[in-house]
Structure 1
Amino acid sequence: MEARQLFRLDNEVLAFRFTATVSDRAGTAPRERLSSPDLLELWLDAAGLGVPGVSPAELREAIALREAIYRAGSAVAATRHPHPGDATILNRVAAAGRPRPALDNGLAVWHLSGKSPVPDALGVLAAEAIRILGGPDRSRIKACEGPGCAGLFLDTSRGANRRWCSMNTCGNRVKKARLADR
């Protein structure tokens, strides 16, 4: 199966795109999309962080990182400080990775080491989360108001009044529901 059929890849913030590997977080039955090492490998490849293989232990580490990013992002969206334990996870994973940014054919890419590509890829995600959660745009981090979603996004709208993680998914669902109610 293709990554675009399995995962939501439309979030402009890579770390928040990673948190979207759980669907319907605020709904009655959240859906885990990283249920195997192979699926994490597929997601990393789709995110431009292709790795040659993922172990079950690396999958557990990735899920722990993803949940720390989500909890920290939710706290920031609610104008609170992230829990110190989540900050510790983000800092540890970011420090463990040794990715190198590069400009390749005019595009920014990440080069992962041959020795530890999965920790390097997770380090990219943790560093991106740290940059967004602690950077100058942190006041623009929001949680989606779409039914059942609660996905994180960076509101880059001029008026800072965006309500949905994606107009194509959550925003569209809300608009369709409003039309149906009329």
Structure 2
Amino acid sequence: MNLEHVFVCGNPALDFAATLRARRSARFEMFVSPDRLNAWYVESGVVDFVSPGQDSDVEEAIVVREAVYRLVTARRLGEPYDDEALTVVNAAARKPAAAPRLTTAGRRTDATPAEALATVARQAVELLSGPDVPLMKECGNPECTRVYIDRSRGMRRQWCGMESCGNKIKAAAYRARKKQAQTATAH
């Protein structure tokens, strides 16, 4: 399987919220089709299979994703929840979720797009009402808007992921220091 999505946030609900990239600048939408949305559900491990979806499934997922992002941001900043976002996430979480089943090969979860979305919404409810709330941080890369769970020793992690953001920022800082040192020795 060719993974096209990045899962560095430490929680499926946070990875889901991060599917709109670079919210402050270039905005890059990952959910451009029902197939891309379904690929996210499978690649994230939320479900093993999703039945084909419609454009309306993508539209609904984007509405829920944005509500999750608003709630995560409010919770992280210690601000009150947006009532509309609460309504959207709670309504999605109330719908039937994907049900795992035991097979001779192990556990398998097949879902409709609506069941997969309900599963993610429930994960958001669990996250935002659970013990990981104090561990939520926003990536230190100014271009990135991912929120992640920092389980590092001493809570010193600064990036959503080294490959996706940390290496870029560290390399840029190194180049800036090197350039500054060259400029200083040239004078």
> Does TM-score exceed 0.5, indicating one fold?
yes
**Partner Cα distance (1:104, 1:135) in 2:** 31
**Partner Cα distance (2:103, 2:64) in 1:** 28
Q: Deviations over 1:133-165 (max 9, x none)?
A: 111221111111212102011111231232211
Q: Is residue 79 of structure 1 aligned with residue 78 of structure 2?
A: yes
**Partner Cα distance (1:16, 1:168) in 2:** 18
Cα deviation for residue 173 of structure 1 reads: 1.1
When structure 1 is superposed on structure 2, of 152-161 and 52-61 the one drifting more is: 152-161
1:23 to 21, 24, 28: 21
When structure 1 is superposed on structure 2, of 64-73 and 11-20 the one drifting more is: 11-20
Residue 141 to residue 181, structure 1, CA distance change in 2 (3 Å): same
**Partner Cα distance (1:86, 1:138) in 2:** 17
Indicate the percent of aligned positions where both proteins have the same amino acid. 31
Larger CA Rg, structure 1 vs 2 = 2
Pairing of 1:118-157 with structure 2 (within 5 A): 118-157=113-152
Q: Is residue 43 of structure 1 aligned with residue 40 of structure 2?
A: yes
**Partner Cα distance (1:92, 1:46) in 2:** 24
Residue 95 to residue 43, structure 1, CA distance change in 2 (3 Å): same
The amino acid across from 1:140 in the alignment is L
The amino acid across from 1:73 in the alignment is V
**Partner Cα distance (1:129, 1:107) in 2:** 26
Q: Which runs of 5+ in 1 are unaligned?
A: none
**Partner Cα distance (1:173, 1:67) in 2:** 27
Q: Which runs of 5+ in 2 are unaligned?
A: 178-187
Residue 67 to residue 176, structure 1, CA distance change in 2 (3 Å): same
Divergent runs of 4+, >6 A: 103-108
Q: Is residue 180 of structure 1 aligned with residue 175 of structure 2?
A: yes
- Matched residue SS, 1:91: helix
Cα deviation for residue 12 of structure 1 reads: 2.3
Q: Is the 8 A contact 2:18 2:145 kept in 1?
A: no
Q: Deviations over 1:4-56 (max 9, x none)?
A: 2x321333211111122212122x21111111112112222212322121111
1:88 aligned partner: 87
**Partner Cα distance (1:39, 1:73) in 2:** 23
In the alignment of these two chains, the number of paired residues is 175
1:64 aligned partner: 63
The amino acid across from 2:22 in the alignment is D
Q: Deviations over 1:54-110 (max 9, x none)?
A: 111111000001111111111111122321211111111011123224567897754
1:32 aligned partner: 29
Cα deviation for residue 169 of structure 1 reads: 1.6
**Partner Cα distance (2:92, 2:123) in 1:** 11
The amino acid across from 2:85 in the alignment is D
